[in-house]
Structure 1
Amino acid sequence: MGLRRENFKMVGKLGVITLGMFGFGYALVPIYNAICEMTGINVLALAEREVPGQRAALPANTQVDRTRSITVEFDVNTRGPWHFKPAVRSLQVHPGELTTVVYEFQNIQDRTMAAQAIPSYAPKQSAAHFNKLECFCFTQYTLKAGEKKEWPVAFVIDPRLPKDVTTITLSYTFFEVGGKVPAAPQDVAVHTLPVAQPADPV
């Protein structure tokens, strides 16, 4: 009789301990969230929260200089029987801003060709500040007769670009590999701020 009573007591204690552990584990979630919100430790979880109907705001790119805009013009030189053009002729971009433009190409010959593009810039000092992250000019391509391609160019203009440069012209010359490589075009217009002329003395 005494042994059975001791067993009941032990079972009761174990039941209380089990309930206590369950309650403690259940309470850990709101306690953890409260501590994280007060201390700001769980930054990732806070950033992933979304308001219904809205996406969580992403941190701004502090490298973008929004105080100035650069006009980027896209030019092509077609030296062969093919179609080659940019999807847009110009864009307004901020220095430090990642921008992508697409170029369209079609081999209109009745034979396969291997080709590559070479870039040039105007004004010349802009070349050092025009950073291409992705460009079809990095690679040679083999295109079948009549084949069409679309190639992206992803670039960032360095915020250290001189202030007097307000327009950059990016020009591509597409040539067939195996032939004579053409020189970079020299007739690209250069755009800079006009220089004020002194007034004639009265």
Structure 2
Amino acid sequence: MALRTENLKMVGKLAVVALGMFAFGYALIPIYRAICEATGINILSITEKQVPGNGLTSAAAARTANTQIDKTRTITVEFDANARGPWSFKPAQRSLQVHPGELATVMYEFQNVQNRTMSAQAIPSYAPRQAAPHFNKLECFCFNQYTLAPGEKKDWPVAFVIDPRIPKDVTTITLSYTFFEVGGKVPLPPEASAAATNAKTGAGA
């Protein structure tokens, strides 16, 4: 009888402990939210939500949401395309004005106008050069190689954020892509190619 009483007491204690643990776990969410509201940090909402309309993954959205938008500045981003081969390659728009820290997306259009299948990849470059470390691409076709059938068309997005720490004197950035066929000679980026040409001209003078 005494043993049974002890067992019932132990079961009661375990039930109280389990109930307490459940209540504590249930209370963590409102406590966490209260802390987030007080500190201005909301990691939970960053990882669960997507940025509307941009099609980015939650990981990319998290990187973007952590960036402060500087609405006191506007930077003009110009888009350029260079095709090293018989194909059509161009941006859907030539320029876009963005605030540092603001997520922006531009589309690039590509078509293989040859009568054969080809594989190609793009090399990005930036002007001025000091803008390059502050130009953060979250999504870009330049990350991969692509194989296109004869006449096949593709529309590719470039989603980017300009770091608010970019120098104040940078008001215009040119994003340029050189598209080349994989398997051929890899071309130099546009500004590097120009520098090499100038060096040869100077040497021959």
The TM-score by the shorter chain falls in which range?
Answer: 0.5 to 0.7
- 1:148-174: CA deviation from partner (whole Å, max 9, x where unpaired): 000000000000000000000000000
1:82 to 87, 98, 101: 87
TM-superposed CA distance for 1:79, in Å, is 1.1
Q: After the TM superposition, which parts of structure 1 deviate over 6 Å for at least 4 consecutive aligned residues?
A: none
Q: Identify the residue that residue 109 of structure 1 maps to in structure 2.
A: 114
Give distance in 2, aligned partners of 1:142 and 1:95.
Answer: 34
- State whether structure 2 residue 102 is matched by structure 1 residue 97: yes
Counterpart for residue 188 of structure 2:
183
Q: What is aligned with 2:136?
A: 131
Aligned to 1:170: 175
Distance 2:187 2:77 in 1: 24
How large is the RMSD of aligned CA atoms in angstroms?
2.2
Aligned to 2:9: none
What count of residue pairs does the alignment treat as equivalent? 133
Equivalent residue number for residue 150 of structure 1: 155
- Greater helix content: 2
Distance 2:146 2:133 in 1: 26
Letter matched to residue 175 of structure 1:
F
Runs of 5+ unmatched residues, structure 2: 1-29, 38-64, 194-205
In the TM superposition, residue 108 of structure 1 has moved relative to its aligned partner by: 0.1
> How far apart, CA to CA, are the structure 1 residues paired with 2:94 and 2:192?
17
5 Å-filtered alignment, 1:10-89, equals: 63-89=68-94
Shift of residue 106 of structure 1? 0.2
Identity of matched residues, %: 78
**Partner SS, residue 183 of structure 1:** coil
CA distance in 2, matches of 1:104, 1:152: 9
Report deviation, 1:187.
Answer: 8.0
**Partner SS for 1:128:** helix
Give the residue type in structure 1 aligned to 2:84. R
For the pair shown, the structure with the greater C-alpha radius of gyration is 1
Question: 1:186 Cα shift?
Answer: 1.5
What is the letter of the counterpart of residue 186 of structure 2?
V
